Chain A
Amino acid sequence: MTPTTCPFCAVGCGLVLDVAAKRVVAVTPDPVHPVSRGQLCAKGWNAGPFLASPERLRQPLLRRNGRLQPAAWSTALAAAAEALAAARAEGGADAVGVIASARATNEDAFAAMKFARAVLGTNNVDHCARVCHAPSVAGLRRTLGSGAMTNPIADLDEADCLFVVGADVTENHTIIGGRILAAHERGIPLVVVDPRRTRLARAADLHVQLRLGTDIALVNGMLHAIFAHGWEDGAYLAARCENVAALQASVADWTPDAAARVTGVTAATIVAAARLYATSRRGWLAYGLGVTQHVSGTETVIALSNLALVTGNVGVIGGGVNPLRGQNNVQGACDMGALPDVYSGYQAVADENARRRFETAWGVALPTAPGRTSLAMQHAAHDGELKALVVIGQDPAVTDPGGRFVARVLERLDCLIVAELFLTETAKLADIVLPAASFAEKDGTFTSTERRVQRVRRALAPPGEARADWQILDALAARLGRPLGFRDAAGIFAEMAALTPSYAGMSYARLEARGGLCWPCPTPTHPGTPRLHVEGCVRGRGRLIPVVHTPPAELPDADYPLQLTTFRLHHQYGSGSMTRRAPLLERENPRGLVWMHASDAARRRIATGAAVRVRSRRGEVTTRAVVSDDVPPGVVAMPYHFAEASPNLVTNDALDPIARMPELKVCAVAVEAC
């Protein structure tokens, strides 16, 4: 019986692995876990099967004569080291890059960023936060000084109003979603802002069914109404915020009527949403990828921060601006500095003091200029400037936008090295595939969406010759002549904590207790910080920043008359490499689907189950229709888990100019029966 942390979403539920005969025979909920309290979602309950899948990679694969063939570790590592060295020799240190994993442990992510910076000598290190919550990090750092969820999950039980924006919480963060449903049943008002009629939207007191990508207009309309009715928290604004007048002036023209014209929501609804949220004593605001995956993602995050600050909801119990992070350790991978511009703890690589600390600790000169983001690395690969790439536990060929572009650029690399559990679509393109250990086969930590750092514990040995990512990187670094010097996961954590103020007070000994610790935890006796910004914002005063509505980069027209949005299903996760190997999960949604409204379906003579083609300017995908009022007329929605029907063959890679986040949540498409 090994208590550990769930490897799926970022809620950070506690689960217990029961191992017999070298196999996880049962996965059960941890009855005393402070977050999940004896509950799990369907993914958690079904976390066992993929571990024992015969399809797990058990030995390294090396491409020979065009085919991936089994190879010894020594051969594969030598080939990888040689390719990385050759790429550096030819194109300089920035001709190589590392994509870290938001699914692996903090220790793996720290190893990845150290490997990129100290071994390869480049800041080209990034991970999939780029396509989920990079705008949260960028936006909230500007307004509050910290890019993370401000309040704990448990605070939703203390709230007087729950305000959910662009998040399908019951499906994607089920244990939080259930808690929201329960709070709502106790009488706490629930407002849901979502273009789709999600389960929560159907339950909500108010469903604000706005047009795709019009959140800023909605929030500015709400702010207008709040100022107009005097619902703002004047004392809080005076004491704790800055730039109030500028914000108030910026929304002066955003009357509810003006906002209604842009959002497609009635002015009365906008005012009602403003009243419910602003006049409740404490409002717990949570949001998801519906906010971030837009060209205006960072500005939309800022808008929500404005809303929370104006109503005095930051730094208080039951309030907050709470990004619901997607992957188990996407918070941790960001915290660990698996990002091109920061070391662990968001210490900027451009900051000389920070750089010196890491140079001193690691005994090596580090690069000074920020590196490339994951998508910039793809473009650099396309242009021939990036020649070799190490991808750890991520499947950008399925999960990144832009049609076949990603696969093409990955093929164009001189060398693609992939560490994975399975031969994913990305791994199939690799020159060298290295078998990785799963969460159940290694020690480490995950940091959940509420900044909760929790232990991941080894319950069984990895299959075949698979190794933890950090061990793979350590071995590769040794081949390159600069070993990372790691002995075990606890040692990596200790090194990281010594270099990372927000984790400085943590150790494996302290993390033994259920629920771990929430950062910041600066000293060994510090109890951790479930709630941020209590004594004033991390940056000092909360900064109100006027933002203006920017329409989606691509709007419908005669050729592509519908808007496509993407979403996630409860029973699948990411590109499905884990969940699609669980028979019950795979059976539940056996193939890719596109949801469409009856009026759009009827016009095209499409019925539920019919084969349809979804086309955009970037590509097309064939899938099956679900006719449903989950989506409004004019909008179609696809889950992105299925490689055989991936919406990312058609989604737009137009970027948020600040966070470089692609606009995965909206593009123009045509749909026809086929």
Chain B
Amino acid sequence: MGAGVLASRAAVDRLRRGLARDRRVIEPRSVDGAPLWVETAGEGAFAWTLAPPLVGVKGWFFPPREPVLAWDGTGAVLPTVPSPDRIAFVGLRACDLAAIAHLDAHFGADPWYRTRRDAALLVGVDCLQACAGGFCIEVDAGPFARAAFDLNLTPLPDGRVVAAWGSAVGRAALADAGVTTKAVDEGTTLLLGELATTAAASFPVRSYVARGLARLNAAPAGAAIADEEWQALGPRCLACTGCTSLCPTCTCFTVVDELDGAGGARARVWDSCLLEGFQREASGHHPAPRPGDRVRRFWYHKLSRDFAGPGGRLGCVGCGRCDVTCPGTIGALGVLAALGGER
């Protein structure tokens, strides 16, 4: 949509405080040594170099539990309409923005998702350096933002900041905060290119990622990887639901009825396709009966081009959270290492 140059990082602080005038501002902060999304009102120093929090922002748009209807003792049934606060996330990284693009495409016009998503303004910050365990560059999701942002910031070494706007709302936020921009000149464009090159070079070489992705995507679907490979990975899935909970693009939910006296509520609740019960049918039939079947299905969903989303990007955005949280060491890099002959 457009971009401009902010004179200094202080302009970003102005933007943050401006956003806080009519939005809750949520930013990454280090709390007891852990990066977390914290409500800051735009105050305090912005954490330009903090690694992305382990727990992303998915739950703001697609909460772990979303009541969809409620009934009372009289038999009246009404949909549950959320009324989210207006929010601005400042400091989303490219991986999480790419993930939000996936969520937007998946949920489409779903009114619960849309209501929450429309209440949020997204401000990205480009990564100039690879984070530990992140491999966005291998899946075309980063380290510079590609999608979904209203505003995206690239801090330059000289203190200036390039701001790109992806929506009218984003552009207006700059203006409303009284932040002025200058045109992006040729020198700045060159500098951005250099920064991108430096950022790309900061990622460790993980050749197995490309090898694993190539095997997984060889035609026809599934032909290149023997069933035994998946079945060998199966027992390493302890069915903890950690990967699917932290994965910023996982969208599966179940629906539960919660009784409370004469009334009750029906709620969407995060589900996990790695649970045996996820697809077990009432008859006892199971279309993915072995743990290896479920591991394979999950990783195809994340890593196969058949599931590519907006911009042709994979369902995996390379954030590396699954590798942190998997007790069985079969997060994305763990699986790609196995498929790519690295383990």
A→B interface (CB under 8 Å): 1, 3, 16, 18, 25-26, 28-32, 37-42, 44-46, 48, 54, 170-171, 174-175, 177-179, 181-182, 185, 199, 202-203, 514, 570-571, 583-584, 587-588, 590, 609
6 A-B residue pairs with Cβ-Cβ distance under 8 Å, sorted by A, are A32-B33, A39-B240, A54-B260, A570-B239, A571-B239, A584-B271
- The reply to whether A3 and B32 form a contact with Cβ atoms under 8 Å apart is yes
Q: Mark B171-205, 1 if CB is under 8 A from A, else 0.
A: 00000000000000000000000000000000000
B-chain residues with CB within 8 Å of residue A25 when the two chains form the complex: 59, 63-65
Which B55-93 residues sit within 8 Å CB-CB of chain A? Answer: 55, 59, 63-65
When C-beta atoms are compared, the residue in chain B nearest to A513 turns out to be B32
Let me know if B258 and A41 touch, CB within 8 A. no
Report chain B residues within 8 Å CB of A185.
329, 343
**Contact present for B245 and A45 (CB under 8 Å):** yes
B327 and A1 within 8 A (CB): no
Contact B31 A39 (CB under 8 A): no
In the assembled complex, which residues on chain B have CB atoms less than 8 Å from the CB atom of A203? 235
Q: Cα distance A179–B245 when bound, in Å?
A: 20
Within 8 A of A (CB), among B259-295: 259-261, 269, 271-272, 275-277, 280, 284
User: In the complex the two chains form, what is the Cα distance from A262 to B280 in whole Å?
Assistant: 42
Residues A174 and B325 in contact, CB atoms below 8 Å apart: no
Q: A44 vs B327: C-alpha distance in the bound complex, in angstroms? A: 13
- Bound CA span A32–B53, Å: 11
In the bound complex, how far is the Cα of B33 from the Cα of A46, in angstroms?
25
Please, which residues of chain B bring their CB within 8 A of the CB of A182? Answer: 329
| Nearest CB in chain A to that of B324: its residue | A38
Kindly state whether residue B100 has any CB partner on chain A within 8 Å.
no
Which A residues are in CB contact (< 8 Å) with B59? 18, 25-26
Bound: A189/B329 CA distance, A? 18
Q: Are A54 and B269 in contact (CB under 8 A)?
A: no
Beyond A38-B325, A181-B328, A588-B276, whether A31 also contacts B238 by CB under 8 A is no
A-B CB contacts (within 8 Å), total count: 116
What per-residue 1/0 map shows which CB atoms of B241-262 lie under 8 Å from chain A?
Answer: 1100110000000101011110
CB distance from B222 to the nearest CB of A (A): 25
A583 close to B256 (CB less than 8 A): yes
Residue of A at shortest CB range from B272? Answer: A584
Residues 217-242 of chain B, each 1 if its beta carbon lies under 8 Å from chain A, else 0:
00000000000000000011011111
Listed residue (A29, A31, A170, A182) with the most chain B CB atoms within 10 angstroms of its CB: A31
Residues of the A chain whose Cβ atoms lie less than 8 Å from the Cβ of B275? 42, 584, 587-588
* Residue B35, interface by CB 8 Å: yes
Q: A38-B325, A177-B238, A588-B275 are in contact. Are A31 and B245 (CB under 8 A)?
A: no
Which residues of B lie under 8 Å from residue A170 when comparing CB positions? Answer: 238, 327
Check if B259 sits within 8 Å of A54, measured CB to CB.
Answer: yes
Complex alpha-carbon distance, A48 and B327, angstroms: 20
**Which residues of the partner chain B approach A1 to less than 8 Å between Cβ atoms?**
31, 36, 38
Partner of A29, one of B258, B272, B325, B329: B325
Q: Is the CB of A39 within 8 A of B277?
A: no
A584 and B269 within 8 A (CB) = yes
> With contacts A32-B34, A39-B327, A609-B284 known, is A181 near B240, CB below 8 A?
no
Most chain A CB inside 10 Å of its own CB: which residue of B34, B245, B271: B34
Contact A179 B327 (CB under 8 A): yes
Closest chain A residue, CB of each to CB of B244: A45
B303 part of interface (Cβ distance < 8 Å)? no
Tell me the smallest distance from the CB of A123 to a CB of chain B, in Å: 41
In the complex, which residues 289-312 of chain B have their Cβ closer than 8 Å to any Cβ of chain A? none
Q: Are A41 and B236 in contact (CB under 8 A)?
A: no
A26 to B57, CA, bound (A): 12
Other than the given A28-B245, A42-B239, A171-B238, 9 more pairs (CB < 8 A) read A25-B65, A26-B63, A26-B64, A28-B246, A29-B242, A39-B242, A39-B326, A182-B329, A587-B254
Bound: A46/B34 CA distance, A: 22
Asked if A42 and B33 sit within 8 Å, CB to CB, the answer is no
* A94→B254 CA distance, assembly (Å): 52
> Smallest distance from the beta carbon of B120 to chain A beta carbons, Å?
16
CB of B131 within 8 A of chain A? no
Contact residue among B38, B269, B328 (Cβ-Cβ distance under 8 Å from A583): B269
Residue from the list B241, B325, B343 in contact with A46, Cβ < 8 A? B241
Residue B214 interfacial (CB < 8 Å)? no
Residues of B within 8 A of A16 (CB): 55
Q: Is the CB of A181 within 8 A of B329?
A: yes
Chain B residues within an 8 Å CB radius of A179: 327
> At the interface, yes or no: B54 with Cβ under 8 Å from chain A?
yes
B105 nearest CB across to chain A (Å): 24
- For A44, list chain B residues within 8 Å (CB): 240
The answer to whether A514 touches B245 (Cβ under 8 A) is no
A174 to B35, CA, bound (A): 25
Min Cβ gap A525→B in Å is: 22
Across the A-B interface, the 4 shortest Cβ-Cβ residue pairs: A178-B327, A587-B277, A54-B260, A31-B54
Known contacts A32-B32, A40-B240; A178/B269 CB under 8 A: no
* Residue of A whose beta carbon sits closest to that of B291: A199
- Cβ contacts under 8 Å, B242 to chain A: 29, 39-40, 45
Nearest B residue to A609 by beta-carbon distance? B284
Given the interface contacts A3-B32, A588-B276, A588-B277, does A48 sit within 8 Å of B324 by beta carbon?
no
Residues on B with C-beta less than 8 A from A570 are: 238-240
Highest count of chain A CB atoms <10 Å: which of B238, B271, B276:
B238
- Interchain CB contact under 8 A, B240 and A584: no
Residues of A within 8 A of B269 (CB): 583-584
Contact A28 B240 (CB under 8 A): no
With A1-B31, A177-B238, A588-B277 as contacts: A39 and B325 at CB distance below 8 Å: yes
- State the CA gap A496–B119 with chains docked (Å): 50
Which residue on A lies nearest to B284, using beta carbons? A609
Contact B55 A28 (CB under 8 A): yes
Find chain B residues with CB under 8 A from A31 CB. Answer: 34-35, 53-55, 324
- Cα distance A16–B59 in the bound complex, in angstroms: 14
Minimum Cβ distance to chain B for residue A159 (Å): 17
**Is there an interface contact between A174 and B238, defined as CB atoms closer than 8 Å?**
yes
Inter-chain CA distance A181–B232, complex, in Å, is 13
A574 to chain B, nearest CB (A): 18
Please, what's the 1-or-0 string for B133-146, where 1 marks a CB less than 8 Å from any CB in chain A? 00000000000000
A178 to chain B: closest residue by CB: B327
Assess whether B64 is in contact with A48, with CB atoms less than 8 Å apart: yes
A194–chain B nearest beta-carbon distance, Å: 15
Residues of A within 8 A of B328 (CB): 178, 181
Chain A residues within an 8 Å CB radius of B256: 583
- Residue of A37, A42, A185 with most chain B CB atoms under a 10 A cut-off: A42
Shortest C-beta distance, B335 to chain A (Å), equals 13
CB neighbors of A among B20-46 (8 A):
31-36, 38
